Amino acid sequence: MKTYDVLDARDWQLLKLLQEDARMSFAELGRKVKLTPPAVAEHVRRMEDLGVIRGYAARVDLKAVGRPLRVILRVQVPPKEYPKFLKLVQGLAAAEECHHITGGEAFVIKAAVADVGELESLIEKFSAFGPTVTSIILSTPLERRVFSSPA
């Protein structure tokens, strides 16, 4: 049985609401889904225990923190260099996400940098592992999807 098979309609409603605003109180969530705050807490705790809810985070305006330039970097990395490459990526403040992918490149990194100079430095670091392809993000029409029941 898949994890999502054990979620009921109320779980899905709560999950949607929490994705939209994770700071919503159990009382407010309860009013929206017609449950008591303790019942909401039980549903949320169960979804946390199941690993459906992995955590809560603040969404940061990257321009406001001095990282207005967002980029996607694709890097060809020889398999024997994966551990060294991943250690580098994990230590970079600019790296937002790193994905191991299929295809010509081994990794895709989403990063946020202060300026073109910082981007150039980042490309140099990644180029030590192999060829890179860089795309500057011009706009983000869909930043974050709120997931709901697959049914």
In this prediction, residue 150 carries a pLDDT of 77
Is residue 141, in this structure, part of any structural domain at all?
no
In this prediction, residue 63 carries a pLDDT of 96
Closest CA to 81 of 135, 134, 125: 125
In this prediction, residue 71 carries a pLDDT of 98
Is residue 150, in this structure, part of any structural domain at all?
no
Closest CA to 105 of 134, 125, 62: 134
Same domain, 87 and 39: no
Write out residues in the chain with pLDDT < 70, as ranges: 1, 4, 151
In this prediction, residue 76 carries a pLDDT of 98
Domain boundaries, position 76: 69-136
In this prediction, residue 1 carries a pLDDT of 63
In this prediction, residue 135 carries a pLDDT of 98
The pTM (predicted TM-score) of the whole model is: 0.84
In this prediction, residue 5 carries a pLDDT of 78
